[in-house]
Amino acid sequence: MYTSNVRGWESSVLRALKNPAAAWEAVKCRVRGQVLTIWCRLFRPRVKIGRSLLLYGRLKIRGPGRVIIGDNVEIGMLVTPYTHSPEAVITIGDRTFLNGTRFGCRERIDVGARSILAECRITDYDYHSVHPLHRNDPAWVKSRPVRIGENVWITVQCIVLKGVTIGQGSTIAANSLVTNDIPSFVIAGGNPAVVLKKLDVSAAPDQ
C-alpha cells in the first residue's frame, strides 16, 4: 500500500510539472472546498460534506433541510441544493460531478455515486398547486421522492420531476422532461422522456 501511495504521489507531481497552471487551479479548488467543509461543520450542522470536495464553481446551500455530500465530489458552475422543509434531505453520492445543477427538495432527492449532472433542474415537488384557488396552499402541493442511480448522466437543460427513479448507468439526453421512471442502462430523451436505446454494457463501444 505504501508503494502504491508513493507511485500515486509521483504521478501527481509529474502531471503538475507538465501543466502547472492546471495544478495550481486544482489546489485552489481543493482549498476552497476544505474551507467550505470546515465552515459547514462549524455553522451548518445540517449540512454534511465528505472528504476532498473540489470546488471549481459555487455551492449555494439554502433551506432548513439536510444536505449530505459524499467524498470526492466536484462542483462546477453554480450548484444550488435548496431544501424547502425541515424534513427535506438531499444526498449526493461519492465522486459525483455537479455542474450547474439546481435542486428543489421538500421530501427527498438521492443522487448515486459517480453520476454526472449538468445544468439541469431536479425537484421532488410541485412548487404551487394546479388548482387555481389553492396556488400557494402547501396542503395542495404534491411531493414524491426522486432517486437517481449510480453512474447516471443527466445532460444540459433537463428537468426531472417528482416521483421519478432513474436507473443506474442511464443517460438522459439534452432538453428532456423526465416525468416517469427510466430503467437502468438506457439512453432516454424527449418531452416526456422515453427510452431511445438500450445499452449492452457487456459489449465494447462502437469504433
- List active site positions: 131
Residues 184 and 170: beta-carbon distance below 8 Å? yes
Give the type of residue at 187: I
CB contact at 8 A, 90 and 73? no
Query: Quick one: which H or E segment has residue 193?
Result: strand 193-198
Phi and psi at 96, nearest 5°, equal: -90, 145
Q: What is the CA radius of gyration of the chain?
A: 19
DSSP state of 62: B
- Collect all residues with Cβ–Cβ distance below 8 Å to 1 and sequence separation of at least 6: none
Q: Which three cell numbers stand for residue 52?
A: 476532498
CA distance 63 to 31: 25
Instruction: Report residue 27 as a C-alpha cell.
Output: 489546489
C-alpha cell at 195: 427510452
DSSP letter at 98 equals E
C-alpha cell at 10: 509521483
